[in-house]
Amino acid sequence: MELEEKIKAANDHATSPELLQELAGDENTWVRRAVAENPATPAKVLDQLAGDVCMVVRANVAGNRSANPRTLERLAGDISSKVKEHLAANPATPVEVLEKLAGDWKSYVRQCVAENPAAPYTLLEKLAGDEHSGVRRGVADNPAAPSAVLEKLAKSKISVIRQDVAQNPAASLVLLEKLAGDEHRGVRQGVAENPAAPPALLEKLAGDEEPRVRKAVAGNPATPHELLERLAEDPVVRAAVARNTNLPPALLEKLAEDKSYNVRRSVAANPTTPEELLARLANNRGRDVREAVARNPNTSLETLARLAQDKNIEVRVNVAQSPYATPEILEQLASDKDEWVRRRVANNPGTPSKALEKLVEDEDYDVRLNVAQNPAASAGTLVRLSNNEYIDIRAAVAGHRATPAETLEALAKDEDWRVSRAVAQNPRTPSLTLIHLSADKNEDVRTAAQKNLAERGSVEKTVAGLLEL
């Protein structure tokens, strides 16, 4: 099985327990990382990976909800703060472990405990008094924080902590009403953004003197339709209304005809705008409006194809980088007269091989570089670019996972050390080539090759190989 196939299988939740067990013993650290993160990985396999030499593998186990309590308890003694952070954020971590981590010397570990929805009341109460404001903010953000703790934090002198409480859906109605009268506009804005804020409170905040508070009400999906219609009459917040994902169809239609291009652009960017309305907006005179249509996931392929022929470069650029553009659209744009459009096509992972092969010969340096960096580039395309005159392009080929082994071997001998280093960092580079590079005259190349071999679990092989040279 090729490396890419192994990583894909290690990430797949449908992979069999037997195969995950086999992949957990793979010499490549990227494969083991993926297995450690996969929630489908059996608990006994995760327990095995909890002792991995790679810190990222252990951290992924620490964050995996499928790990058994004993495994998570063992990881609480890990020397890595990154492992402790993942452990502190994991809802499956035993309470005793969370209590231990709540006293960790590193504030971010304590903050992760504070943000954990499984943290018990007593622990959140303790952390609400932590000396570090980031930890207290973590508690204020936690949807599991009890009312008494949130009420305590709502009295904080630090406005962002009060704002965090105001945005928390767990905040009581009484507390939200109190915070809606806060002297700091950011706190009132937090209440206005809260999806749990009752209609009466949103009604009150819709009359706030601060535009950002009224805009927050206008953007809140919980705001009643009648109130949204009233707010749509306010020119300062009308664009925010147009971005609301809970707009009634009639209001969305009305705002699509607004004289302000900013409002029309907001309708065009709204993910709930239907494709028929987007098709109409694609004819709008405002360039920004047509750009927003090109980016909207609801835009039909027919409209996207029309925008691919737009007279404006920026509109065509947005089509060229769209993940929804068809191979036919991208192939057409690969011949665009403007290099910015062709650069986006060359960078789009959805671009077909035929178009990428054509762009190999493009006169623009950035176009060719983007082709070399595109994950969809074929082995044949990369081989053609491997002899490019520019160092950065050869280095991009050297670091690409689809570059054939023979090409990597040739690039390992490149006259520029940056190309050799890219080969040394590539997880697809043959071990024998890495062994040669681990003795390179350049320190960066040597270090990269040695690290790559070590991550494969090939330290002994490296030594043996060097002795044979």
Mean per-residue pLDDT, 272-290: 96
* Domain definitions of the chain by residue range: 172-247, 248-307, 388-469
Q: What is the pLDDT of residues 17-42, one digit of tens each?
A: 999 999 999 988 999 999 999 999 99
pTM of the model: 0.82
Q: Which residue has the higher pLDDT, 312 or 456?
A: 312
Q: 338-371 pLDDT, tens per residue?
A: 999 999 999 999 999 999 999 999 999 999 999 9
pLDDT at residue 462 above 70?
Answer: no
pLDDT tens digits for range 121-132: 999 999 999 999
* 176-209 residue pLDDT tens: 999 999 999 999 999 999 999 999 999 999 999 9
In this structure, how many other beta carbons lie within 10 angstroms of the beta carbon of residue 386?
23
pLDDT tens for residues 58-88? 999 999 999 999 999 999 999 999 999 999 9
Q: Are 87 and 72 within 8 A, CB to CB?
A: yes
Write down the pLDDT at residue 459. Answer: 45
In DSSP notation, 183-217 reads SSHHHHHHHHH-TT--HHHHHHHTT-SSHHHHHHH
In this structure, are residues 261 and 286 in contact, taking their beta carbons and an 8 Å threshold?
yes
Average pLDDT over residues 316-339: 97
Is residue 425 scored above 60 in pLDDT?
A: yes
Q: Work out the pLDDT band at 457, boundaries 50, 70, 90.
A: low
Q: DSSP string covering 325-380, please? A: --HHHHHHHTT-SSHHHHHHHHH-TTS-HHHHHHHTT-S-HHHHHHHHH-TT--HH
Nearest one of 212, 156, 162 to 189, comparing CA atoms: 212
Which residue has tokens 């404006």? Answer: 312
Instruction: Give 256-269 pLDDT, tens digit per residue.
Output: 999 999 999 999 99
Tell me the pLDDT of the chain averaged across its residues.
95
Question: What contacts 65, CB < 8 A, 6 or more positions away?
Answer: 39, 90, 91, 92
- Predicted confidence band of residue 417 (pLDDT cuts 50, 70, 90): very high
- Specify the 3-state DSSP secondary structure of 181: coil
